[in-house]
């Protein structure tokens, strides 16, 4: 069943290549996948979701899928939801439907494969598979400086993957297996000296994929010029692969090594939150602002990871990271989808040229408002549930007697990021939707019913997790 | 207990129904008003209950964040204020907003506000308080920015939200610290946790608690608009006037005081005696009261005068909490809510009658044109300046007593405020309601309809009687001892004397004047604080700083490091390109050479 | 009688001549013939090993000779295809000199 989940988008991709109607096929495949994914997320504990196909005898290599824990199930859920929303809200340029929807499906398949894989090789390979269509789509169908953006993301992620691959190979050599479950069991074979090295490689490798400061400058231009479904899928889903990898491999396998790098990690994540936060404030375009904001919010998830490193066996931190990954994926996908819609309505995303859009497009204003509020962590929407858990996780060991530790101080500084994100989000909202109407927005058309469906899907998810986070937390148990 | 849950979720359900289904039908205003009526009835039914109930909102192993309801005198009394004024404001709005295009959105936001405010009041733990704390910020944002096409309204909404966010930064940190210290988030368990901490660490107890309390106080500074985050409240007057009455005078801005008192009440008053944080809180309140009263004396917009007056009264309440006489503050919150809502709704009626003219110098003579409004406004005015035996008198007396007992300097500051308050209110009343009409709009004003007058009359009655022991001891959100409420003494003489001086000077200066005889630019420009924030903090500090960082990000990190990397990769690639000659035989030669090397290593290599 | 080493020496020489031809000659037909020469060298080796490493029953190891037949037949097919390609190439480019065929240049 799990293999079906992964291969369905690939099958749909092949069908599209052979002439099936691109949009319909993509939507159908994603809808089926959403149903499957929901079912999988609810029943992942039954043990019936495993799949294994021997590929090589020596070294033993299996194309294997399964749910190691609730985290994979949640990530699968995230992928299928965002995929459906992405293919529903994307509008392909004339004559490029095959490329547009086919690539979206491939990215989705790659993400699903990476999150479902239990074998190190395929874990890595599926992610790389998803990157290729990402590069192609940005380069061929993007907007603005698409070539430069495509090159930059290619070089960055290529280098990041290389570093990551080195770390993974080192790890596989020491543990002597590619099976991730067995690797974790053999964690004691990783000696302290190697731990430091591997931890550094994994942090930089996974970190680059997640746009950890200072390896972040690929993200904003890439998302700004990517077509909507790619931005949604990459920022929403694929980027979480790096965090997922850190939680899945680095934390259980090289805990001491990560301890060693804790202080640099804290500094870097503050770079994400504060530095990139300030950068975001000064953006003049909605798309690059959203791109930067997605980089900034990664800092909070890294904070959860840092809390997990600093205080091992901190169930709060683990869940906090997963909830926030999920919430951020949904909300950023929603924002990118709606920003694309704004551009289609008004022809521009330059904040100086926009204003008063709420008058002509109240539906768009309402949905974008919810998305913006979600992204700045308003209670009742999913991101808040994640952020509050992250903060609580960071304060887990504080009891007043010994003063604030480095993680707590980082946490306090990160909470200032909540103010920063409110500044840029509200400023963008103010400039886009409020104030008197201007030329670009006076006759802008509002959302059609078809436009509302993907946004509503994402918003319902945001509300469900925000109003009652136990829905998601129960999956993690 | 189920009633309390209905009380909490009814407005949310109504807001959702309005937004999703009833937007276009015109039923939204009625439904929202009906829900306000329902919540008021529920609040009355719950009065005097003492119960708690909760469910787990987020569970992680043995740790869980709860959503819970705590009913006690404090919360049920506060609910009377919130739902009572809420109901009257809904009714008033039915008339006030009759011609607005976006009525449905307005009433949806009002219902959302009622939900959020109820959440703050009934919360049984700090995370829940924080959740609803942020949600009232959102509803306030929506309501201030109701006329979002006006630049000033949109900016004011943004400013309000951001000021609150800055306060919430501290609030969140404070909650986390308090959680660390006491080990609990729920109000009921915190006290024992704190006692255990005190027993274990007597030496650092006071400083750690002070730090946590001050952080939490930041939240109150933002929400209750104390110095230095007071700037948003006067700007918030850009919203529709009934909103100003409900949110920016009676309930939401009082939430900061309520929360501080809840904190004291939870942790025990004895922990706050002689705590440095309490001193800071008291002084912040006192200075806010003074500064805001000074600024109020030179404002010309009727709503802005009232807004600064609200700031100043909130300062009183915060000061009372800081002096660890929270009951006095809560009592003042209770009486102030009624008469300030009255004043705001009265000003709303005036503004409505004068075709949205807000400048008091363009009004004048309105008492004759609108006698009922003018008379009810007079009652509110009397209660605000603490004329003996109006509600404001009783509660202000309590605060002055507290200040007199604890901190003489603050007492004298409060006394100065007690002179300034009658002064600027007399100015307002004399200029707007007496004399002769000074503009076209004012001369065409006529009395407003019964939907607006009804709430005014009810509030006028409450503005008088709310301070009497038989009302206050039952409904006020504080544990008051009726026998202490009226107590003649030195403080009373100071207070009455201040009142007399204020009214007389106000009357002498402003009676019969056509324009303001006093002009103090410093006060007109609100001590230049707003300008300082806009120009220095926002424009120079934040934006310039952001541009500098963006520049570094673009040119140093991106330009030098990244492009440097990509350049070196490119040049390396160019070297390798030379090998690709395209000569087939060259390739074959290299291939053969490769095979030879492999053979060599296989045969001779071992 | 010639020993295994003699056969291998001849085969190696043939191979070397073939490789040198492939690398040095510019006419693509000659290059092609030299390739065939290299195949013959390999065939010779196979036959020699088949003869000098008999199976358990004393007969030569026919596997090697079988392989030679396969190589010869496939090579015949390959010659046909190869010459066809060269003819097509000549029609397209009017040359069969390797110096002129550098479209692989990066």
Nearest chain B Cα to C18, which residue? B592
Confidence category of residue C1, pLDDT binned at 50, 70, 90? low
Q: What is the CATH number of the domain that holds C88?
A: 1.10.287.3510
For residue A174, pLDDT beyond 90: no
Taking an 8 Å cut-off on Cβ atoms, the answer to whether B588 and C102 are in contact is: no
Residues shown for chain A: 477
pLDDT digits (tens, 9 = 90+) for A339-398: 988 888 888 888 888 888 888 888 889 999 999 999 998 998 999 999 999 999 988 888
Q: Domain check: are A226 and A340 in the same one?
A: no
Confidence category of residue B538, pLDDT binned at 50, 70, 90? confident
Taking an 8 Å cut-off on Cβ atoms, the answer to whether A400 and B60 are in contact is: no
Q: Domain check: are A366 and A401 in the same one?
A: yes
Start-to-end CA span in chain C (Å): 53
Q: Identify which of C19, C24, C98 has the shortest CB distance to residue B583.
A: C98
Is the minimum CB–CB distance between A385 and chain B shorter than 8 Å? yes
Task: Please give the Cα distance from A423 to A74 (Å, whole number).
Answer: 31
Calculate mean pLDDT across residues B398-414.
87
In contact, B472 and B336? CB cutoff 8 Å: no
Task: Please give the Cα distance from A357 to A347 (Å, whole number).
Answer: 12
In contact, B352 and B436? CB cutoff 8 Å: no
Q: Which residues contact C90 (CB under 8 A, 6 or more apart)?
A: C96
Is the minimum CB–CB distance between B539 and chain A shorter than 8 Å? no
Both tokens of B453, joined, read 């007058």
* Residue C54, domain member (yes or no): yes
* Residue A144, pLDDT score: 78
Task: Please give the Cα distance from B302 to C45 (Å, whole number).
Answer: 110
Confidence category of residue C80, pLDDT binned at 50, 70, 90? very high
A: neighbours with 3+ CB pairs under 8 Å?
Answer: B
Taking an 8 Å cut-off on Cβ atoms, the answer to whether B582 and C104 are in contact is: yes
pLDDT digits (tens, 9 = 90+) for B137-156: 999 999 998 988 888 898 88
Q: Domain check: are A41 and A122 in the same one?
A: yes
* Residue C102, domain member (yes or no): no
Calculate mean pLDDT across residues A58-68.
79
Chain-centroid distance of CA A248 in Å reads: 15
Q: Which residues of C touch B575 (CB under 8 A)?
A: none
CA torsion A31→A36→A39→A40, rounded to 10°? -140
Structural domains in chain A (count): 2
Backbone angles phi, psi at B203, to 5 degrees: -70, -45
pLDDT digits (tens, 9 = 90+) for A261-295: 999 999 999 989 988 888 888 888 898 899 999 99
Nearest chain B Cα to C16, which residue? B592
Chain-centroid distance of CA A22 in Å reads: 25
Nearest chain B Cα to C19, which residue? B592
Among the candidates A256, A291, A310, a domain finishes at A256
Calculate mean pLDDT across residues B549-578.
70
Taking an 8 Å cut-off on Cβ atoms, the answer to whether B542 and A388 are in contact is: no
Measured CA to CA in angstroms, residue A324 lies from A317, A350, A466 at distances of: 10, 29, 11
Task: Please give the Cα distance from A80 to A32 (Å, whole number).
Answer: 9
Question: Cis peptide leading into B228, omega within 30 of 0?
Answer: yes
B: neighbours with 3+ CB pairs under 8 Å?
Answer: A, C
Q: Which residues of A touch B208 (CB under 8 A)?
A: 400
* Residue A110, pLDDT score: 92
Among the candidates A256, A273, A308, a domain finishes at A256
Q: Identify which of A408, A423, A436 has the shortest CB distance to residue B162.
A: A423
E strands, A138-269, in order: none
Q: Domain check: are A287 and A225 in the same one?
A: no
Q: Domain check: are A252 and A275 in the same one?
A: no
* Residue B483, pLDDT score: 59
* Residue B486, pLDDT score: 65
Q: Which helix (H) or strand (E) holds A263?
A: helix A262-270
* Residue C42, pLDDT score: 92
Q: Domain check: are A176 and A281 in the same one?
A: no
Comparing C-alpha atoms, which of C59, C30, C65 is closest to residue C47?
C65
Nearest chain C Cα to B573, which residue? C106
In contact, B476 and B334? CB cutoff 8 Å: yes
Q: Domain check: are A281 and A243 in the same one?
A: no
Calculate mean pLDDT across residues B35-46.
90
Name the 3-class secondary structure at A191: coil
Backbone angles phi, psi at A468, to 5 degrees: -145, 80
Q: Which of B578, B582, B595 is the best substitution to test chain C (most C C-beta atoms within 10 A)?
A: B582
Task: Please give the Cα distance from B165 to A415 (Å, whole number).
Answer: 10
Both tokens of A461, joined, read 């998810």
In contact, A371 and A336? CB cutoff 8 Å: no
* Residue A79, pLDDT score: 92
In contact, B201 and A401? CB cutoff 8 Å: yes
pLDDT digits (tens, 9 = 90+) for B432-447: 888 777 777 777 778 8
In contact, B339 and B249? CB cutoff 8 Å: no
* Residue A267, pLDDT score: 92
Q: What percent of chain B stands above pLDDT 70?
A: 95
For residue B7, pLDDT beyond 80: yes
Task: Please give the Cα distance from A296 to A304 (Å, whole number).
Answer: 14
* Residue B129, pLDDT score: 92
* Residue B563, pLDDT score: 65
B448: DSSP letter = P
pLDDT digits (tens, 9 = 90+) for B457-479: 999 998 888 888 787 777 877 77
Q: Identify which of B169, B550, B566 has the shortest CB distance to residue A415.
A: B169
CA torsion A120→A195→A181→A203, rounded to 10°? -50
Please give, one letter per residue, the 3-state secondary structure of B16-64. Answer: HHHHHCHHHCCCHHHHHHHHHHHHHHHHHHHCCCCEEEEEEEEEECCEE
Q: What percent of chain A stands above pLDDT 70?
A: 100
Question: Cis peptide leading into A59, omega within 30 of 0?
Answer: yes
* Residue C106, domain member (yes or no): no
Instruction: Output the average pLDDT for chain C.
Output: 87
More confident residue, B24 or B339: B339
Task: Please give the Cα distance from A169 to B15 (Å, whole number).
Answer: 55
Confidence category of residue B402, pLDDT binned at 50, 70, 90? confident
Task: Please give the Cα distance from B253 to B251 (Å, whole number).
Answer: 6
* Residue C36, domain member (yes or no): yes
In contact, A151 and B563? CB cutoff 8 Å: no
Q: Which residues contact B183 (CB under 8 A, 6 or more apart)?
A: A399, B193, B196
* Residue C103, domain member (yes or no): no
For residues B214-231, b (16+ Cβ closer than 10 Å) or e, as one string?
Answer: bbbbbbbbbbbbbbebbb
Task: Please give the Cα distance from A356 to C89 (Å, whole number).
Answer: 66
Confidence category of residue B606, pLDDT binned at 50, 70, 90? low
Token pair 């009359």 in the structure block, residue: B457
* Residue B565, pLDDT score: 66
Q: Domain check: are A222 and A308 in the same one?
A: no
Specify the range with the lowest mean pLDDT, choosing from A258-262, A455-459, B264-268. B264-268
* Residue A429, pLDDT score: 92
In contact, B14 and B37? CB cutoff 8 Å: no
Sort strands A51-56 and A61-65 into parallel, antiparallel or unpaired.
antiparallel
Chain-centroid distance of CA B322 in Å reads: 18
Q: Domain check: are A14 and A163 in the same one?
A: yes
Task: Please give the Cα distance from A467 to A378 (Å, whole number).
Answer: 11
Q: Domain check: are A346 and A250 in the same one?
A: no
Q: Which residues contact B390 (CB under 8 A, 6 or more apart)?
A: B339, B379, B382, B383, B463, B464, B467
* Residue B176, pLDDT score: 92
* Residue C101, domain member (yes or no): no
Instruction: Output the average pLDDT for chain A.
Output: 88
* Residue C71, domain member (yes or no): yes
* Residue B171, pLDDT score: 93
* Residue C104, domain member (yes or no): no
Q: Domain check: are A246 and A266 in the same one?
A: no
In contact, B307 and B233? CB cutoff 8 Å: yes
For residue B172, pLDDT beyond 90: yes
Specify the range with the lowest mean pLDDT, choosing from A310-319, A370-379, B575-584, C86-95. B575-584
Count of A-B CB contacts under 8 Å: 142
* Residue B564, pLDDT score: 67
Specify the range with the lowest mean pLDDT, choosing from B348-357, B463-472, B537-546. B537-546
For residue A153, pLDDT beyond 60: yes
Domain coverage including residue A84: 1-256
Task: Please give the Cα distance from A13 to A106 (Å, whole number).
Answer: 7
Q: Which helix (H) or strand (E) holds A29?
A: helix A22-43
* Residue A214, pLDDT score: 81
Burial degree of B44 (CB within 10 A; 0-12, 13-18, 19+): middle
Is the minimum CB–CB distance between A26 and chain B shorter than 8 Å? no
Confidence category of residue A64, pLDDT binned at 50, 70, 90? confident
* Residue B115, pLDDT score: 93
* Residue A52, pLDDT score: 82
Is the minimum CB–CB distance between C16 and chain B shorter than 8 Å? no
Task: Please give the Cα distance from B448 to B337 (Å, whole number).
Answer: 23
* Residue B559, pLDDT score: 63
Q: Domain check: are A184 and A285 in the same one?
A: no
Domain coverage including residue C53: 4-93
* Residue A464, pLDDT score: 92
More confident residue, B102 or B487: B102
Structural domains in chain C (count): 1
Task: Please give the Cα distance from B139 to B121 (Å, whole number).
Answer: 16
Calculate mean pLDDT across residues B260-279.
86
Taking an 8 Å cut-off on Cβ atoms, the answer to whether A415 and B172 are in contact is: yes
């Amino acid at each position: 069943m799990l293999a079906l989940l992964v291969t369905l988008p690939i099958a749909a991709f092949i069908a599209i290549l052979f002439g099936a109607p691109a949009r319909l096929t993509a939507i159908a495949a994603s809808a089926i996948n959403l149903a499957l994914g929901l079912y999988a997320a609810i029943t992942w504990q039954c043990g019936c979701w495993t799949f294994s196909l021997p590929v090589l005898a020596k070294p033993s290599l299996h194309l294997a899928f399964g749910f190691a824990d609730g985290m994979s199930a949640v990530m699968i859920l995230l992928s299928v939801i965002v995929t459906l929303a992405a293919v529903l809200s994307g509008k392909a340029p004339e004559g490029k439907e095959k490329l547009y929807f086919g690539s979206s499906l491939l990215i989705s398949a790659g993400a699903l494969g990476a999150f479902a894989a239990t074998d190190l090789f395929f874990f890595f390979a599926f992610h790389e598979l998803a990157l290729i269509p990402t590069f192609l789509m940005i380069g061929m169908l993007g907007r603005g400086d698409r070539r430069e953006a495509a090159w930059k993301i290619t070089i960055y992620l290529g280098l990041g993957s290389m570093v990551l691959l080195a770390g993974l190979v080192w790890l596989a050599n020491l543990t002597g297996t590619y099976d991730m479950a067995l690797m974790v069991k053999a964690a004691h074979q990783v000696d302290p000296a190697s731990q430091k090295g591997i931890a550094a490689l994994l942090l930089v490798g996974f970190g680059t994929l997640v746009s950890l400061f200072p390896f972040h400058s690929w993200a904003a231009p890439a998302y700004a010029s990517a077509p909507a479904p790619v931005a949604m899928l990459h920022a929403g889903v694929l980027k979480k692969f790096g965090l997922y990898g850190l939680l899945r491999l680095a934390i259980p396998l090289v805990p001491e090594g990560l301890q060693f790098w804790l202080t640099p990690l804290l500094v870097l994540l503050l770079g994400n939150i504060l530095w990139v936060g300030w950068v975001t404030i000064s953006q003049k375009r909605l798309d690059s602002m959203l791109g930067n904001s997605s980089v900034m919010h990664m800092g909070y998830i890294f904070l959860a990871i840092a809390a997990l490193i600093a205080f091992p066996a901190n169930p709060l931190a683990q869940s906090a990271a997963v909830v926030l990954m999920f919430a951020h994926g949904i909300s950023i996908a929603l924002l990118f989808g709606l920003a694309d819609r704004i551009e289609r309505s008004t022809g521009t995303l330059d904040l100086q040229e926009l204003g008063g859009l709420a008058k002509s497009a109240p539906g768009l204003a309402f949905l974008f408002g919810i998305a913006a509020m979600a992204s700045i962590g308003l209670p009742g929407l999913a991101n808040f549930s994640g952020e509050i858990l992250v903060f609580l996780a960071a304060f887990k060991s504080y009891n007043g007697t010994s003063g604030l530790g480095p993680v707590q101080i980082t946490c306090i500084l990160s909470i200032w990021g909540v103010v920063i994100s409110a500044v840029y989000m509200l400023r963008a909202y103010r400039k886009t939707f409020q104030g008197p109407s201007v030329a670009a927005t006076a006759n802008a058309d509002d959302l059609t019913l078809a436009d509302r469906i993907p946004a509503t899907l994402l918003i319902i998810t945001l509300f469900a997790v925000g109003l009652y986070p136990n829905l998601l937390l129960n999956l993690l148990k | 207990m189920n009633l309390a849950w209905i009380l909490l979720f009814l407005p949310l359900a109504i807001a959702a129904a309005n937004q999703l289904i009833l937007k276009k039908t015109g039923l939204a205003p009625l439904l929202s008003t009906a829900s306000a009526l329902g919540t008021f009835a529920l609040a009355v039914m719950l009065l005097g209950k003492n119960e708690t109930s909760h469910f787990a909102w987020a569970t992680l192993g043995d740790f869980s964040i709860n959503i819970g309801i705590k009913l006690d005198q404090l919360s049920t009394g506060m609910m009377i204020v919130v739902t009572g004024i809420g109901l009257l404001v809904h009714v008033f709005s039915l008339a006030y907003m009759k011609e607005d295009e976006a009525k449905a959105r307005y009433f949806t936001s009002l219902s959302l506000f009622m939900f959020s405010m109820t959440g703050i009041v009934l919360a049984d733990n700090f995370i829940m308080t924080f959740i609803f704390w942020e949600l009232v910020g959102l509803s306030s944002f929506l309501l201030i920015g109701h006329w979002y096409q006006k630049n000033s309204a949109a900016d004011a909404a943004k400013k309000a939200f951001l000021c609150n966010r800055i306060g919430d930064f501290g609030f969140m940190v404070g909650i986390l610290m308090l959680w660390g210290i006491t080990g609990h988030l729920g109000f009921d368990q915190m006290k024992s946790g704190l006692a255990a901490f005190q027993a274990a660490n007597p030496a650092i107890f006071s400083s750690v608690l002070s730090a946590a309390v001050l952080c939490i106080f930041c939240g109150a500074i933002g929400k209750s608009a104390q110095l230095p985050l007071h700037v948003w409240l006067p700007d918030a007057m850009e919203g529709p006037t009934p909103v100003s009455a409900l949110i920016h005078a009676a309930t939401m801005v009082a939430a900061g005081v309520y929360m501080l008192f809840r904190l004291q009440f939870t942790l025990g008053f004895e922990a706050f005696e002689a705590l440095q944080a309490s001193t800071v809180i008291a002084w912040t309140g006192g200075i806010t009261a003074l500064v805001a009263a000074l600024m109020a004396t030179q404002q010309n917009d009727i709503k802005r005068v009232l807004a600064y007056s609200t700031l100043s009264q909130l300062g009183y309440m915060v000061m009372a909490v800081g002096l660890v006489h929270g009951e006095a503050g809560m009592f003042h919150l209770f009486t102030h809510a009624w008469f300030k809502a009255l004043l705001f709704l009265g000003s709303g009626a005036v503004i409505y009658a004068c075709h949205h003219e807000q400048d008091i110098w363009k009004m004048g003579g309105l008492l004759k044109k609108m006698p009922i409004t003018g008379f009810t406004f007079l009652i509110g005015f009397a209660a605000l300046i603490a004329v003996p035996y109006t509600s404001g008198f009783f509660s202000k007396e309590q605060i002055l007593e507290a200040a007199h007992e604890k901190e003489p300097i603050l007492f004298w500051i409060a006394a100065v405020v007690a002179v300034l308050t009658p002064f600027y209110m007399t100015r307002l009343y004399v200029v707007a309601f007496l004399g002769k009409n000074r503009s076209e709009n004012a001369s065409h004003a006529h009395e407003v309809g019964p939907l607006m007058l009804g709430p005014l009359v009810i509030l006028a009655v409450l503005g008088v009687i709310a301070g009497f022991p038989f009302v206050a001891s039952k409904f006020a959100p504080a544990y008051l001892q009726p026998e202490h409420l009226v107590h003649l003494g030195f403080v009373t003489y100071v207070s009455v004397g201040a009142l007399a001086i204020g009214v007389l000077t106000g009357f002498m200066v402003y009676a019969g004047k056509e324009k303001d005889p006093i002009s103090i630019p410093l006060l007109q420009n609100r001590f230049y604080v707003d300008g300082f924030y806009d120009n220095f903090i926002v424009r120079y500090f934040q934006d310039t700083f952001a541009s500098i960082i963006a520049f570094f990000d673009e040119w140093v990190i991106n330009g030098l490091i990244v492009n440097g990397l990509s350049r070196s990769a490119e040049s390396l690639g160019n070297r390798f390109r030379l090998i690709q000659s395209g000569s087939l035989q060259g390739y074959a030669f290299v291939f053969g050479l490769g095979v030879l090397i492999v053979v060599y290593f296989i045969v001779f290599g071992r | 009688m010639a020993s295994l080493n003699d056969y291998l020496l001849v085969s190696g020489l043939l191979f070397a001549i073939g490789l040198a031809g492939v690398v040095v000659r510019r006419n693509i037909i000659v290059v092609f013939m030299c390739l065939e020469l290299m195949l013959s060298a390999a065939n010779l080796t196979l036959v020699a090993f088949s003869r000098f490493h008999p199976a358990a029953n004393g007969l030569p190891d026919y596997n090697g000779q079988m392989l030679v037949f396969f190589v010869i037949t496939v090579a015949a097919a390959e010659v046909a295809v190869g010459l066809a390609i060269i003819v097509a190439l000549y029609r397209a480019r009017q040359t069969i000199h390797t110096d002129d065929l550098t479209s692989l240049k990066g």
